[in-house]
Amino acid sequence: MVIPRLENSWKPEKRMKNLMSAPEDSVQEFVGEVLPAGPVDGVQYGLSVRSSKAGGGSVKTDIMEARELRAKLDKEALVDHLEFLPESASLAAYDAMPVEKFGQALLLGMGWRDGRGIGRRATEDVKATEFVRRPERLGLGAAKPDLVAPVGPDGKVRHRVEIGEKLVERAKRGVYGGKVMTIVSGRHAGLRGEVLGRKDKVANPGEVVGVKLAGSGETVEVDAKNLADVGSVEEENAMKRLKELRIQRGDGGGDDERARPWLRSQIRVRVVSKRFQGGRLYLKKGRVIDVVAPTVCHIVLDESGDLVEEVKQEYLETAIPKPGGRVIVVGGKLRGSIGKLLERDSKKQVAVVQMEESFEMATLDLDHLAEFTGDGA
């Protein structure tokens, strides 16, 4: 609905100059008057005392009559004005046309469009916000308010909300289902995710919980003691330690053995870089389809089938299949050999493989093995 804008019908009166000259006979001539000397008959001299008229208080009566007349005229004017007014709107009319819709219709008639800022130099639509009021008397030992502003997309605490945005319950302390927390230690340190499980059950330190990572959506298992609240001192200290370690060993990290080229086509790998493409591909698996440089390759993701080009070797690690799957040796003396994975020991980081050509058994490091996705050798 659009209410057209009414044109301004008010026009100021133009002041016309009187260009005609005054006639000569209209010119006033002043002549001095000569008063006769001596007293003048009929004129009283000295102090004159005015006597009040009979029936005093007539001035007050006149004022009261004037007020009554004015009130009567105002009442008659109000009656005349009400005769031309439309009937009062019903509640159903307000439901059909809310006040905000009526104001929007007026703005649309004046040239405003939805999403367009108001003002001469407006570049974008600035949304109105309101601050979350801090309760009074929050002294030592006082209970904090139950409703607070929801956490922002960056995980930071907010102190103001948009108009109409509802407050949420304050997050309680501890590790429980549905809470967004930061991993401060372990392999996935520095990442945020949502704790899986029951909301009414708080996990104890040492208990392993599932965490759905915010960037990639992958689910990992983390010790409850390695989780910290967003914006807490524990999170800040952990981020500082990670930054210092990254500076010391470089963004890629790793020892000299893993720095050697091991990429080859037809193997399955896993993305282990937390910063590659903003962490969106963290822990995602894919197949290497082409090696364009000794340490650069193109991969196809298993989950979505998307092609990711020019992935550095330092962002990847080899993926190991379940026992019974085919593997290929990517490092060491048996590099290039294909075999069958019989068993693996994750604690010792070794696996037992039976070679396809010689049927011999070999114990190899897990870092030297990768799942083979090809048909032959």
Which tokens belong to 129? 């916000």
329 against 9, higher pLDDT: 329
Q: Report the alpha-carbon distance of residue 302 to residue 370 in Å, rounded.
A: 15
Which tokens belong to 267? 């193997």
Run of H or E residues at 309? strand 307-312
With beta carbons less than 8 A apart as the criterion, state whether 226 and 184 touch. Answer: yes
φ and ψ at residue 289, rounded to 5 degrees: -105, -20
Instruction: Note the helical H segments in the chain.
Output: 58-83, 91-96, 99-109, 233-249, 256-259
- pLDDT tens per residue across span 265-303: 999 999 999 989 988 999 999 999 999 999 999 999 999
Segment 9-17 shows an average pLDDT of 63
pLDDT at 97: 84
Confidence of residue 150 (pLDDT cuts 50, 70, 90): confident
Q: What integer best gives the mean pLDDT of the chain?
A: 82
The secondary structure of residue 175, as a DSSP letter, is B
Quick check: 59 pLDDT over 80?
A: no
Share of the chain above pLDDT 70, in %: 80
Q: CA nearest 342: which of 329, 330, 332, 355?
A: 355
Quick check: 67 pLDDT over 90?
A: no
- pLDDT tens per residue across span 293-305: 999 999 999 999 9
34 against 163, higher pLDDT: 163
Q: Report the alpha-carbon distance of residue 360 to residue 354 in Å, rounded.
A: 6
CATH number for the segment(s) 261-319: 2.30.30.140
The dihedral through the CA atoms of 34, 37, 43, 46 has a sign that is positive
**CATH C-level class of 321-371:** mainly beta
Quick check: 253 pLDDT over 50?
A: no
Sequence-distant (≥ 6) Cβ neighbours of residue 331 within 8 angstroms: 257, 260, 262, 365, 367, 368
Three-state SS at 352: strand
pLDDT at 145: 66
Quick check: 55 pLDDT over 60?
A: no
Confidence of residue 18 (pLDDT cuts 50, 70, 90): low
Q: How far is CA 362 from CA 317, 327, 329, 331, 345, in A?
A: 21, 12, 11, 13, 14
One fold for 180-248 and 261-319: yes
Count Cβ neighbours within 10 Å for each residue of 325-354 and write b for 16 or more, e otherwise: ebbbbbbeebeebbbbbeebeeeeebbbbe
Fold (CATH) for 180-248: SH3 type barrels. (2.30.30)
Confidence of residue 316 (pLDDT cuts 50, 70, 90): very high
Amino acid identity of residue 55, one-letter, is G
Which tokens belong to 216? 């990639």
Q: Report the alpha-carbon distance of residue 335 to residue 111 in Å, rounded.
A: 72
Segment 114-143 shows an average pLDDT of 73
With beta carbons less than 8 A apart as the criterion, state whether 211 and 197 touch. Answer: no
Share of the chain above pLDDT 90, in %: 32
Q: CA nearest 258: which of 323, 312, 310?
A: 312
Q: Report the alpha-carbon distance of residue 239 to residue 191 in Å, rounded.
A: 10
Q: CA nearest 131: which of 164, 150, 159?
A: 159
* Count of Cβ atoms closer than 10 Å to residue 254 Cβ: 13
Quick check: 331 pLDDT over 80?
A: yes
Least confident of 31-35, 95-99, 156-160, 340-344: 31-35
Domain ranges of the chain: 180-248, 261-319, 321-371
Strands 180-183 and 192-195, by their bridges, are antiparallel
Amino acid identity of residue 341, one-letter, is L
Residue that has been written with the tokens 């429980």 in this structure:
176
Confidence of residue 48 (pLDDT cuts 50, 70, 90): low
203 against 276, higher pLDDT: 276
